[in-house]
Amino acid sequence: ALTQEAREKQGPAVTIDGQQVRISANVELPEDLPLIRENGADGVGLYRTEFLFLRSEKGPSEEEQFALYREAAEWAKPNRLVIRTLDVGGDKLLPWLSVRPLETNPFLGIRGIRLSLQRQELFRTQLRAILRASTQGNVALMFPMVTDVSEFRRARELLGRVRQELEAEGHRLEDVPCGMMIETPAAALMADLLAEEADFFSIGTNDLEQYTLAVDRLNDRVSSLYPSPHPAVLRLIQRIVEEARKHGRPVGVCGEMASNLALLPFFVALGVEELSMGSVLIPRVKTAVRRIRVADASEGVNAALLRKEAPEVLEGFNRLAEHFY
C-alpha cells in the first residue's frame, strides 16, 4: 500500500472545486528521467533535445536519437512525452553547425525552427527518429521559436512527408500531435491564427519575457530592470490561453514561471491545462494546486491584474497565494 506521502506525490493535482492541472516535467538530460517517476510527474511537458546535439561532434545519428527518444517515451508511459525539436542558436552554439558569419545578435538570429528549416537534412533525421519513437509510448512533438504561420506550416508539411517516407518503408505509425512553443510576441499576437494550425500550445515564458521586454535572459544588468511578472507578459499569456481555449486547443506553460507559486492561481484561473517544470519542483506545486479554489482564484487574480506595475501585481498575487497556502 502507498503511504500518504506517496499518494500525494503520485496522485493528480486537483483544485478544491475539481479542476485538474497536469504537473509535468521538463527534461534536459537522460539523467533527469528517473526523477520524473520519483516526483510523480504527470508526463514530460518539455523534452529539450539540445543536449544530444551539443555533446556530439557532428550531430547524432537517427539511431542514436531514436534510442534516446524511445527511452524517454518509456519512462513517461502511460503519460505523454512532448519532444521539442532542436532549439540551438541564441546562446547555444554548435561548433559543427556554426552559423556563418557569426551573428551580432544570436538571440535574434538563426535559432530554433529557423535553423531546422534551413538545415532540412538535420531536421528530417530528427523528425524520423521522433516518429519512430512515437510507437513506443504516448509521444507528441513541438517546434520552438515559431514567429509566423508559414514556419509552422512548412515544418508540419515536412513532418507529413517524413511520415509518408517512413510508412513507405513499412513503419506503422500512430497519429502524433504536433504543437508549438509560443515564446515570441509575434506568436502570442497571432495565437488565434496559430491555434487553427497547431494541435496544442506550450508557452515558453523564458523567451516570451526576453523578447517582449527586450531583455537578454542571460544579462543580469537588464533583467533586474523589469521585475517579474511584467503586466505586458501577463497580458500576452492571457491572450494566448484565451485563444487556445476558444479553438479547443490544449495549452500548457513550460518556462520558469510555471513553477512560481505566486503565479499558480493566475494559471489555474485562466484554465491552463499543464504546467511543466524541473521534476524536483513538482510535489510542492501539486500540493499548492490542491489548496486552490478556482472561483476565489479568479476573483483575486482579476483584482491583481488591475494594478499597473509588476511589484504591485506581484503583491496582489502573493497575497492570494498566502490565502491559499
- For residues 112 and 116, give the distance between their C-alpha atoms in angstroms, rounded to a whole number: 7
Quick one: how far is CA 233 from the chain centroid?
Answer: 16
Nearest Cα residue to 193 out of 133, 249, 276 = 249
> Residue 325 corresponds to which cell in the numbers above?
497556502
Which residues in the 24-53 window bind ligand PEP by CB under 6 A? 46, 48
Q: Phi first, then psi: give them for residue 285, nearest 5 degrees.
A: -70, -40
Give 29-71 as a 3 state SS string: CHHHHHHHHHCCCCCEEEEECHHHHHCCCCCCCHHHHHHHHHH
286 binds, among ligand PEP, Mg ion, none (CB under 5 to 8 A by kind): none
Nearest Cα residue to 124 out of 91, 102, 157, 93 = 157
42 binds, among Mg ion, ligand PEP, none (CB under 5 to 8 A by kind): none
What does the DSSP 8-state code read for residue 276? Answer: E
Q: CB nearer to ligand PEP: give 48 or 249.
A: 48
Q: Mark whether 178 is an active-site residue.
A: no
Identify the residue among 137, 229, 252, 255 touching ligand PEP (CB under 6 A). 255
205 binds, among ligand PEP, Mg ion, none (CB under 5 to 8 A by kind): ligand PEP
273 binds, among ligand PEP, Mg ion, none (CB under 5 to 8 A by kind): none
- For residues 138 and 126, give the distance between their C-alpha atoms in angstroms, rounded to a whole number: 17
Roughly what angle, to the nearest 10 degrees, separates helices 62-76 and 120-133? Answer: 40
- For residues 73 and 26, give the distance between their C-alpha atoms in angstroms, rounded to a whole number: 13
Q: What is the dihedral of CA 92, 141, 181, 44, to 10 degrees?
A: -80
Q: With binding defined as CB under 6 A, does residue 183 bind ligand PEP?
A: yes
Residue 275, judged by CB atoms within 10 A of its CB (0-12, 13-18, 19+), counts as buried
Q: CB nearer to Mg ion: give 2 or 186.
A: 186
Q: With binding defined as CB under 6 A, does residue 207 bind ligand PEP?
A: yes
Question: Count of residues binding Mg ion (CB under 5 A)?
Answer: 3
274 binds, among ligand PEP, Mg ion, none (CB under 5 to 8 A by kind): none
Question: Count of residues binding ligand PEP (CB under 6 A)?
Answer: 10
- Least Å distance, CB 262 to ligand PEP, is 17
User: 201-203 and 80-84: which strand pairing?
Assistant: unpaired
Which residues in the 102-161 window bind ligand PEP by CB under 6 A? none
- Least Å distance, CB 183 to ligand PEP, is 5
> Residue 48 corresponds to which cell in the numbers above?
529539450
Catalytic one among 198, 237, 254, 281?
Answer: 254
Please give the annotated binding residues for phosphoenolpyruvate, written as ranges: 48, 84, 206-207, 217
Q: With binding defined as CB under 5 A, does residue 207 bind Mg ion?
A: yes
163 binds, among Mg ion, ligand PEP, none (CB under 5 to 8 A by kind): none
- For residues 285 and 122, give the distance between their C-alpha atoms in angstroms, rounded to a whole number: 37
Identify the residue among 118, 206, 302, 318 touching ligand PEP (CB under 6 A). 206
> Residue 117 corresponds to which cell in the numbers above?
528549416
Identify the residue among 205, 212, 260, 279 touching ligand PEP (CB under 6 A). 205
Which of these segments, 170-178, 199-207, 298-306, 316-324, binds ligand PEP (CB under 6 A)?
A: 199-207
Question: Using CB under 6 A as the criterion, what x/- string covers residues 50-89 for binding ligand PEP?
Answer: -------------------------------------x--
Catalytic residues: 254
Instruction: Write out the residues near Mg ion by the rule CB under 5 A.
Output: 183, 204, 207
